[in-house]
Amino acid sequence: MELRQLEYFVAVAHEKSFTLAAKRLHVVQSAVSAAIAALEKDLKVTLFERNAQRVVLTEAGAALLPEALAVQDAVQGARDVVDELGSGLRGRVRVAMLGGLALVDLPAVAGVFRARHPGVELQLRVESTGSAGNLAALLAGDCDVAFLALAGPPHRDVTGWELVRVPNVLAVPVGHRLARRRQVTLADLADESFVDFPPGFTNRAVADQVFEAAGIARHIAVEVAGVDDAAAFVRNEVGVALLPEYAVQLAGDGVRMLRVEGQTFEWSVHLAMLRKRRPSAAVQALLGLVMQHVRLLDGTVAGADLHQRN
């Protein structure tokens, strides 16, 4: 088994295509096919199911992927040691973000990181299916670090750092029939239209579970990907929404905040990576910056004084 074979294997697993993997690696497709065939012969297994439409990992391929990534991480770690003695950090860090996540000042994180580590390529992207998409990307090796909104413990193959816990409150338009109340029950909301997030978003999953347990079917009028958009729809009387308290406070005078009796709809933001992967020096540098830029629920930012000094 050679490092080159593992590199080609990871590329095909990520791209789900021998052609795209070859383009990514800047080699001819026959070289990729030959490397995978040699690896399969050496391991005496089939790593990919191939047909005209798709290339997917077999069970053996899925088992090999985290190990191959771990080997790549170990090699990168050796390079990091040398780089730190010379020209500074090198490499690439791919981050799966959560859309509209104001609880972490990611633009500031990215700006500081790139200023400090110009030799590292930082790639940030948003998955359309929220935390479910981020977790899938992490498990497939398509990103190095992912932000996950969780209502329970992380996936068994993931290690995570809890950044902040976020209780949700009910947001209603200022002219709503419930707007003068401080607290409502789930039954009070049985006939309401909701502004919510798409399936795959933890906010949505938590709310669905609570209402389903209470035997109440919700009507979802609008699905949005960010809390700012949700608050705007509430302000314009399209529906009510379960949102983080900070988002309601920022929404202005057109939205009122109410508690739901006996419910917090709480979830937490985690920064996660695969348990079997060794974080590179670049990933460790990014993790440290994220911890300094967490926006706490009292409105303060962790590490704000340090950020101002830098």
Q: Domain of 120: which CATH number?
A: 3.40.190.290
In terms of Cα–Cα distance, which of 105, 128, 135 is closest to 246?
Answer: 105
Q: Is the pLDDT of residue 308 over 60?
A: no
* pTM for the predicted model, two decimal places: 0.66
Q: How confident is the model at residue 87 (pLDDT cuts 50, 70, 90)?
A: low
* 26 lies in the same domain as 144: no
* 143 lies in the same domain as 203: yes
Q: Is the pLDDT of residue 290 over 70?
A: yes
* 121 lies in the same domain as 191: yes
Whether 21 is in a domain gets the answer yes
Q: Report the pLDDT value the prediction gives residue 297, as an integer from 0 to 100.
A: 60
Whether 69 is in a domain gets the answer no
Q: Report the pLDDT value the prediction gives residue 147, as an integer from 0 to 100.
A: 93
Give the containing element (helix H, strand E) for 64. helix 59-85
Q: Whole domain around residue 43: which residue ranges? A: 3-61
Beta bridge partners of 260: 184, 263
* 126 lies in the same domain as 51: no
Phi, psi of 142 (to 5 degrees): -80, -10
Interatomic CA distance for residues 19 and 31, integer angstroms: 11
* 124 lies in the same domain as 251: yes
Q: Report the pLDDT value the prediction gives residue 83, as an integer from 0 to 100.
A: 62
* 55 lies in the same domain as 105: no
User: What are the start-end ranges of the E strands in 155-192?
Assistant: 158-166, 168-173, 183-184
* 41 lies in the same domain as 96: no
Q: How confident is the model at residue 208 (pLDDT cuts 50, 70, 90)?
A: very high
* 240 lies in the same domain as 137: yes
Whether 72 is in a domain gets the answer no
Q: Is the pLDDT of residue 222 over 80?
A: yes
Mean pLDDT score of the chain = 86
* 228 lies in the same domain as 304: yes
Domains held by the chain: number? 2
Whether 73 is in a domain gets the answer no
pLDDT in tens, 122-178: 999 988 888 889 999 988 888 999 999 888 888 888 988 888 888 899 999 999 999
Which pair of tokens denotes residue 202?
């933890």
Whether 130 is in a domain gets the answer yes
Exposure string (b/e) for 224-263, b if CB count within 10 Å is 16 or more?
bbbbebbbbbbbeebbbbbbbebbbeebeeebbbbebeeb
Nearest-Å Rg of the Cα atoms of the chain is 23
* 162 lies in the same domain as 199: yes
* 247 lies in the same domain as 151: yes
Whether 75 is in a domain gets the answer no
The CATH number given to whatever domain includes residue 22 is 1.10.10.10
Whether 259 is in a domain gets the answer yes
Whether 82 is in a domain gets the answer no
* 49 lies in the same domain as 95: no
| Sign, CA torsion 12/18/23/27 | positive
